[in-house]
Amino acid sequence: MNKISDKFSSMDNDFLLSEFQQAEVKEKVNQLLRRKKPKPLWREYLEVVLISLAAAIFLRLLVVSAYRVDSGSMEDALFEGDYIFVNKLAYKFGEPEIGDIIIFKYPLDPTKDYIKRVIALPGQSVEIVDKIVYIDNELAHIFPLAKNSDPKILAAQLSSRDNFGPIQVPEGQYFVLGDNRDISQDSRYWGFVPATHIKGKAVFIYWSWEPDPDAPEWHFPYIHSAFHFAYYFLTGIFTHTRWERLFTAL
């Protein structure tokens, strides 16, 4: 009987010891938490800004780029003053397709970026007869927003604008045209676009600002111009923004 009593007494002691150890550990944890000072508000804001900046730089370098359209050569798909996002990974795992709107380095001056629509792929033949495009001797796909603004037909001896080819697209290169066919400088004039020059695929319009000849210009000292631009933007945001074009898919 004494042995059983001693056994239970030992178990009670072990249980009390265990509870005491747990309480001691909790107290130490609480002490450490009390010693840890909360972050100042400015530091939390700084961390958020730095993380956001790092994410933006990562996206800018590897995933997407933003561009402003500076001409009317892609009307009516893109207008001057449209701001677009370009997917830089679009052709890392695939090839351009007919109808894609692409950003590429201008073959005659790689420091400049151009934007056009892919019309023919490597190995296909292209011919333009009186403004009508043929691919492999068949009528090419007609894009709804492409247009000819000049009713005159120019002979091939005068210009390659309305009569061109036939010519075969070399391997590793693409034939591109602007949607505003009669004013666009494209493959009809300066040749094909090498695949290595393609920077990405236009995805959508994220902002659109109607061009304004009275918009302020940058002049030294630039702080003056910054205030002028800020005032111009705030007072013109509702009248110059083409709201109907925002987030238009391309």
Determine the pLDDT at residue 49: 64
Q: What is the pLDDT of residue 45?
A: 62
Q: Cβ(87)–Cβ(200) under 8 Å? A: yes
Whole-number pLDDT of residue 244? 95
145-194 pLDDT per residue, tens: 999 999 999 999 999 999 999 999 999 999 999 999 999 999 999 999 99
Residues of the chain with pLDDT under 50: 1-5, 7-13, 15-17
> Which pLDDT score, from 0 to 100, does residue 37 have?
61
Q: Known catalytic residue: 73?
A: yes
pLDDT at 16: 44
Compute the distance between CA of residue 96 and CA of residue 246 in angstroms, rounded to an integer.
Answer: 25
Catalytic residue among 7, 26, 71, 116: 116
116 in active site: yes
In this predicted structure, what is the pLDDT of residue 215?
Answer: 79
Sorted by where each starts, the structural domains of the chain and their CATH numbers stand as 64-209 (2.10.109.10)
Catalytic residue, from 73, 184, 187, 208: name it: 73
> What pTM did the predictor assign?
0.74
pLDDT of 21 reads 57
